Amino acid sequence: MDELKKLKVPQLKELLKNEGLAITGKKDELIKRLFDRQSQSNQSKSKSPSPVPNNDTQNLTNEDTQDSTNKDTQDDSTPAKDSQDLTTNNIQDPPNNNVQDTSTNNIGDHSTNNIGDHSTKNGQHPSTNDEQDDLPPTKRPRLSNENPPPRPQTHEDEMNLDLDLEAEPEDPNQPIQTNSNRTKSDLYLDTINRDMLDFDFERLCSVTLSNINIYACLVCGKYFQGRSKISPAYAHSIGSDHHVFINLLSEKVYVLPDGYEVSDPSLDDIKYLLNPTFTPEFLNRLDTGLYPVAYDLQGISYLPGFVGLNNIKANDYLNVIVQILSHVTPLRDYLICRKPTSNDTELVKRFGTLMRKLWNPKAFKSQVSPHEFGQEVSKRSNRKFKLTEQADPLEFLGWLLNTLHLDLGGHQKKPMKKKHMKLKNEGNPQESDQMIKKVEEEKDEPSSIIDAAFRGEVRIEEHDILARPDTGEKGLKPIFDLGAEVRTIQTPFLFLTIDLPPPPVFQDTIEKNIIPQIGLNEVLMKYDGKKTIEINGKLKRFKILGLPPFLILHFKRFTSNNFIEEKNPTIVNFHTKGIDLSPYYEPKPKEKEKEVDEPIERLYDLLANVTYSSTAGTAKEDSQWKVQVHTRSVNEKQEEELKANSLKPNEEKWFQIQDLIVEEINRQMVFLGESYIQVWERRSDKIESSLKFKDSLK
């Protein structure tokens, strides 16, 4: 025990590693672990048969033993040399597998360990070449059929013998193995500090600000470039005594300044944190309401996908858009499961990485920073959308969807105009109707996952106003030319704008405390194809021709004039389940034929709701953006499928997320906020994986 206390921690860990024991813990724990192993070895050795030593030999003192040893060495110098030659030959070319090489075990490596130096005898060290003849003969590896010769043992020699015997393999037929790299690779792994690791920030060297060949220090979490002798990472390993680094691109772990690679199963959680991976089975569990409960390093539970995003300064507008897009099932699955290609833009890569981190079930902390994604957004948008300045979430949503659409291989779609001429006593209405029918029946396949999820189609009819009566009399209508053309435009859309009625201007004391309200069905009447709206001197009618699987609605709350930007505080009442959009949809001819036999329901359920709140004033700079999302629920068919597999889905829960604050709310309180953006999901009774969405892409 005293000799073990003299060793340093790295030497104790080497001994424990060779023994196959754990190398974690304080020095006292390491010493106790080694001492217990030695005690077990002594007990096993006492049970095994051993030759009975001579009583005369046991009664010899240390001085007599030394004299007899020196005398035998001088008289039998030649046999000692022969034994040394035999030892060398046996190590280089062993005749059979029974030879055990004790020189390859680190426990018996007397050049590095302080536990018993076998090149000396009882503390006597050779000092000159003349004294070489006084040394004992070189130790020859003992064959399995040989019995150890009896010799006097001191306490120190007994400890060394126990360690040597413990280091030898128990199976005599086991081949000799070396561990030159295995021990040193685990030397610094206990210095890794997982609490300091954060791979959310932009991958730039903290010294050179370069983004090429970046390594992360697994002790302090900082980023450094390279691992050569002139690199910042090499200098950091020497100056700060931090030795374990991971390459952020290849996910390989190295020990500096030694420069060798480490491959250990204990590093798998760090590699998964750097680049989370998912299976379709895990995502299908989320779609059926089987949400797994995850825990961070502090033991705090969280739900994957319902974690907060860090607000660096004024990027809450970006956070809410990322949150709602992360719950759009086909887009989430497409970005999480797709394999990156060389043609992917940096925006697609970083957005996919952010999506995987939001749904990571093995995160070290229950929050994510969008810093890396936000920096690329600022670069691609020419600093229109920055992390340090407020912006309109709708403008950012439109820019992001269009940019992702083009980056993922989509192409731009131009509106199709149809001119239906209705002139007096001339024109060819039949030819015009045929052209309209041909355009309506034209099939337009989606060219990207953005198209497949969000793109719809709307028909706009325009009629110019010739003059407006200026007599001042009430009830007079604008004057039209009945012979003028009615322009019809079919245009794709990613979101529909909903106009809110203006709040009353003159209010008494009681009405000031009353917030105006309106139902969602009333404001959707804009798209029934009958209601006429005057916009910029033109009368327009709108009709939805194509409903996407995920419908985005924008409530127009802000209007600008020459002096100030005004906000409409009207509250929109809506149900979170089963909104029927059939009155606002005109099916295509092929769909009409199908609906003759079986009517098609166009029911939508609320997926996400972005609300706006502000302090005193009307400026957006003082605004706060929140998002409300919910866990998945199942329909009757899905519930029967789960019961057949003895699975019980979780109940639907609504969460309100404001930056890092995630709190559960009641579903009946969702509509109380000033809704600004909503995402509605088309209801489907089929149990289909959303991964099939990308199968329709060409």
* pLDDT at residue 145, as a whole number: 43
pLDDT tier for residue 342 given thresholds of 50, 70 and 90: confident
* pLDDT at residue 159, as a whole number: 36
> pLDDT tens digits, residue range 687-698?
344 444 444 443
Q: Is 438 helix (H, G, I), strand (E, B) or coil?
A: helix
* pLDDT at residue 162, as a whole number: 35
Highest mean pLDDT among 164-168, 600-604, 660-664: 660-664
pLDDT tier for residue 468 given thresholds of 50, 70 and 90: low
Superfamily per CATH, domain 188-272: Zinc/RING finger domain, C3HC4 (zinc finger) (3.30.40.10)
**Section 184-207 average pLDDT:** 87
Distance (Å) of CA 530 to CA 244, 482, 525, 544: 69, 18, 8, 12
Alpha-carbon span 653 to 171, nearest angstrom = 59
Q: Is the pLDDT of residue 2 over 80?
A: no
Highest mean pLDDT among 143-152, 239-248, 277-286, 528-537: 239-248
What percent of the chain is modeled with pLDDT above 90?
A: 36
The residue that leads in pLDDT, 467 or 236, is 236
* pLDDT at residue 70, as a whole number: 46
Alpha-carbon span 517 to 15, nearest angstrom = 76
Least confident of 253-267, 538-552, 554-568: 554-568
Least confident of 132-141, 226-235, 460-469: 132-141
Tokens 């329909």 found at? 635
Least confident of 270-274, 302-306, 468-472, 583-587: 468-472
> pLDDT tens digits, residue range 401-453?
999 999 998 877 655 555 444 433 345 555 555 555 555 555 557 788 999 99
> pLDDT tens digits, residue range 586-613?
877 666 656 555 556 689 999 999 998 8
Residues 6+ apart with CB under 8 A from 177: 104, 169
In this structure, are residues 32 and 130 in contact, taking their beta carbons and an 8 Å threshold? no
Calculate the dihedral angle through the C-alpha atoms of 662, 276, 409, 676, rounding to the nearest 10 degrees: 0
* pLDDT at residue 403, as a whole number: 94
Q: What is the mean pLDDT of the chain?
A: 74
**Section 160-181 average pLDDT:** 37
The domain segmentation of the chain, as residue ranges, is 2-48+68-124+132-183, 188-272
* pLDDT at residue 311, as a whole number: 92
Distance (Å) of CA 277 to CA 273, 300, 466, 637: 9, 22, 62, 30
